[in-house]
């Protein structure tokens, strides 16, 4: 994914403890090939010094409207000329208010007025400041003015309180910025996905599960969000993964819960992608209390689970359904057999030894035109290729 390569980004840093997270964001952006220019406000410089941002960005850091290093003394104009975006992170309540009113009393607010590129803000402030009617009004106005507001998040705050107002984590801000520069192959589409394993309880302590990590499904959900999908709902079995940016995650444990969550999310969906390794069977009668060791053999009766993908694909109003098939041998025969049995326009086949649990995968896409092998690659890259193929099929279907 090279969408940030060569992009010129201006990162504004205002006063807030979250400024330390912006240092990591700058590192991520630079690593992805962006040309990052940091503008610190006076308050921002009290939290993280210019030297840190200079070292991380590899560019001079700007703080002063009257900086003599700019030969024409026009830092407020020159910094945004050719810029692909300005992101203010953290954005204090003060800077949001200034942006709403077009105030220009320092370098950052002045260059925001003089810019002709998109402006993104990542608010960070105490929860009461965030909930104050003035801030609520200001944020609504900024959105109306075309400013993209990223976050904030809820959680522990530096002041010791708990609530809305934490700046989004650097990885999520990175995703949001990168997504701006990606082609919007799924613009306007609603996508529902499943990912991860299911856990079928034997008793309150034990259960039947499998070693799906969720990495493939999460990578695909992230790729859909980056491709501009209007809504991405990820129904996830138990994994240790964070929800990707732009994705609404619904946590479930068992196949039955997964089925209910999928059906609840389905109205309005254009695409359904079943990546989850759903248990085909569950203990017919989970014990209410922990089963005690007896020294005797223990027999479990298993009941079949519903096939979520088959059920969705069989609906009269079925969305475009994409299945996965994990096999340990004879991939072509089994995968294509599953695709035909469930009447799927697209199925992604992989061998468990290639795809289960790891960071990379090697897959073959099966559709009505035949088989399309993809070379082994990290799961995010595979996910991007699947989205491109899916988008082409959706376009062809429409046309
Ligand atoms: O999570 P990772 O570690 O990244 O691993 C990724 C993966 C190997 C799990 C993934 O790439 C994959 O292959 N997922 C499908 C695994 C699977 O259960 O395949 P299956 O052949 O048993 O099922 C076929 C399809 O029906 C799948 O889309 C599955 O989600 C769906 N299904 C299966 C059973 C069931 N009861 N309900 C379903 O919806």
Q: Could you give the dihedral angle defined by the CA atoms of residues 76, 79, 84 and 90, in that order, rounded to the nearest 10 degrees?
A: -70
Q: Is residue 1 part of a domain?
A: no
CA of 216 to the centre of ligand 1 (A): 10
Q: Closest Cα partner for 306 from 345, 258, 253, 264?
A: 258
98 shares its domain with 241: no
CA of 256 to the centre of ligand 1 (A): 15
34 shares its domain with 174: yes
Do residues 258 and 252 make contact, with C-beta atoms less than 8 angstroms apart? yes
Q: Helix (H, G, I), strand (E, B), or coil: what is residue 235?
A: strand
Residue 214, domain CATH: 3.40.50.10300
240 shares its domain with 166: no
Nearest atom, ligand 1, residue 310 CA? 39
Nearest atom, ligand 1, residue 219 CA? 4
Sheet with 346-351, strands from edge to edge, namely 248-251, 231-236, 190-195, 271-274, 320-327, 346-351, 363-367, 370-373
324, 351, 366, 380: which to mutate for ligand 1, most atoms within 8 A of CB?
324
Check residue 399 and give its pLDDT.
56
Residue 119: give the domain boundaries.
Answer: 8-179
User: How far is Cα 136 from Cα 323, in angstroms, rounded to an integer?
Assistant: 43
Do residues 44 and 15 make contact, with C-beta atoms less than 8 angstroms apart? yes
Residue with tokens 């200034």: 98
Q: Is residue 256 part of a domain?
A: yes
**Tally of domains in the chain:** 2
Q: Could you give the dihedral angle defined by the CA atoms of residues 99, 102, 103 and 109, in that order, rounded to the nearest 10 degrees?
A: 50
Q: Is residue 185 part of a domain?
A: no
Q: Closest Cα partner for 12 from 102, 82, 76?
A: 76
Do residues 279 and 208 make contact, with C-beta atoms less than 8 angstroms apart? yes
Buried-exposed string 163-176: b where 16+ CB fall within 10 A, e elsewhere: ebbbbbbbebbbbb
User: How far is Cα 27 from Cα 57, in angstroms, rounded to an integer?
Assistant: 7
pLDDT value at 196 more than 80: yes
Q: Is residue 3 part of a domain?
A: no
Check residue 69 and give its pLDDT.
79
pLDDT value at 203 more than 90: yes
Do residues 178 and 32 make contact, with C-beta atoms less than 8 angstroms apart? yes
Check residue 164 and give its pLDDT.
87
- List, as one string, the DSSP characters of 136-181: HHHHHHHHHTTPEE---EEEE-TTS-EEEEEPPPHHHHHHHHHHHT
Q: Please state which of the ranges 1-5, 82-86, 373-377 shows the lowest mean pLDDT.
A: 1-5
Domain's final residue, options 129, 153, 179: 179
Q: Is residue 379 part of a domain?
A: yes
> Judging by beta carbons within 10 Å of its beta carbon (0-12, 13-18, 19+), is residue 70 exposed, middle or buried?
middle
Residues having CB closer than 6 A to ligand 1 are 194, 196, 212-217, 255, 274-278, 280, 305, 307-309, 323-326, 338, 350, 355-357
Do residues 210 and 197 make contact, with C-beta atoms less than 8 angstroms apart? yes
Tokens in use for 66? 């009257």
Q: Is residue 2 part of a domain?
A: no
Structure confidence by residue, pLDDT tens digits, 227-247: 999 999 999 999 999 999 999
pLDDT value at 319 more than 70: yes
CA of 279 to the centre of ligand 1 (A): 9
70 shares its domain with 123: yes
Structure confidence by residue, pLDDT tens digits, 32-74: 999 999 999 999 999 999 999 999 999 999 998 888 777 776 7
Domain's final residue, options 150, 179, 208: 179
329 shares its domain with 289: yes
* DSSP 8-state code for residue 228: T
> Which pLDDT band holds residue 397 (cuts at 50, 70, 90)?
confident
Please give the angle made by the CA atoms of 321, 324 and 328, to the nearest 5 degrees: 160
CA of 274 to the centre of ligand 1 (A): 7
210, 212, 218, 342: which to mutate for ligand 1, most atoms within 8 A of CB?
212
Structure confidence by residue, pLDDT tens digits, 8-21: 999 999 999 999 99
Q: Report residue 179 CA to chain centroid gap.
A: 9
277, 348, 363, 365: which to mutate for ligand 1, most atoms within 8 A of CB?
277
Q: How many residues does the chain have?
A: 399
> Judging by beta carbons within 10 Å of its beta carbon (0-12, 13-18, 19+), is residue 150 exposed, middle or buried?
buried
236 shares its domain with 300: yes
Check residue 385 and give its pLDDT.
96
Atom 35 in ligand 1: residue holding the nearest Cα:
307
Domain's final residue, options 128, 159, 179: 179
Q: Is residue 158 part of a domain?
A: yes
Tokens in use for 318? 């079925």
294 shares its domain with 334: yes
Structure confidence by residue, pLDDT tens digits, 345-369: 999 999 999 999 999 999 999 999 9
Q: Is 321 a catalytic residue?
A: no
Structure confidence by residue, pLDDT tens digits, 210-230: 999 999 999 999 999 999 999
CA of 258 to the centre of ligand 1 (A): 13
pLDDT value at 1 more than 70: no
Atom 3 in ligand 1: residue holding the nearest Cα:
357
pLDDT value at 136 more than 90: yes
Catalytic one of 112, 159, 224, 321: 159
Nearest atom, ligand 1, residue 350 CA? 13
CA of 378 to the centre of ligand 1 (A): 18
Residue 137, domain CATH: 3.40.50.1950
User: How far is Cα 377 from Cα 295, in angstroms, rounded to an integer?
Assistant: 47
Nearest atom, ligand 1, residue 308 CA? 39
CA of 197 to the centre of ligand 1 (A): 8
Nearest atom, ligand 1, residue 335 CA? 21
Model confidence, pTM: 0.87
H/E stretch holding 44: helix 42-45
């Amino acid at each position: 994914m090279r969408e940030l390569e060569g992009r010129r980004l201006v990162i504004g840093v205002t006063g807030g403890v979250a400024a330390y997270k912006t240092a990591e964001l700058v590192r991520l952006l630079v690593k992805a090939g962006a040309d990052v220019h940091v503008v610190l406000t006076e308050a921002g410089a009290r939290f993280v010094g210019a030297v840190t941002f200079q070292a991380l960005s590899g560019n001079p850091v700007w703080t002063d409207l009257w900086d003599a290093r700019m030969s024409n003394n026009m830092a407020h104009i020159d910094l945004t000329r050719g810029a692909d975006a300005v992101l203010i992170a953290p954005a204090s309540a003060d800077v949001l208010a200034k942006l709403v009113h077009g105030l220009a009393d320092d370098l950052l607010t002045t260059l925001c007025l003089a810019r002709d590129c998109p402006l993104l803000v990542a608010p960070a402030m105490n929860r009461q400041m965030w909930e104050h009617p003035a801030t609520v009004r200001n944020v609504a106005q900024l959105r109306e003015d075309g400013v993209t507001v990223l976050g904030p998040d809820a959680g522990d705050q530096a002041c010791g309180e708990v609530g809305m107002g934490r700046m989004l984590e650097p990885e999520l801000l990175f995703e949001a910025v990168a997504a701006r520069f990606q082609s919007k192959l799924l613009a306007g589409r609603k996508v529902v996905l499943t990912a991860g394993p299911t856990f079928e309880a034997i008793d309150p302590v034990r259960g039947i599960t499998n070693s799906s990590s969720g990495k493939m499904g999460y990578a695909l959900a992230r790729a859909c969000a980056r491709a501009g999908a209007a809504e991405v709902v990820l129904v996830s079995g138990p994994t240790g993964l964070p929800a990707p940016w732009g994705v609404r995650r619904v946590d479930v444990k068992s196949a039955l819960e997964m089925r209910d969550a999928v059906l609840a999310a389905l109205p309005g969906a254009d695409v359904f992608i079943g990546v989850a390794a759903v248990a085909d069977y569950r203990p017919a009668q989970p014990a209410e209390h922990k089963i005690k060791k007896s020294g005797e053999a223990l027999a479990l009766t298993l009941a079949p689970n519903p096939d979520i993908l088959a059920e969705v694909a069989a609906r009269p109003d079925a969305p475009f359904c994409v299945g996965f098939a994990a096999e340990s041998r004879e991939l072509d025969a089994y995968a294509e057999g599953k695709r035909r049995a469930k009447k799927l326009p697209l199925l992604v086949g992989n061998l468990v030894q290639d795809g289960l649990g790891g960071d990379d995968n090697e897959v073959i896409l099966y559709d009505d035109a035949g088989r399309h092998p993809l070379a082994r690659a990290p799961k995010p890259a595979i996910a991007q290729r699947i989205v491109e193929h899916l988008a082409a099929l959706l376009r062809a279907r429409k046309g």
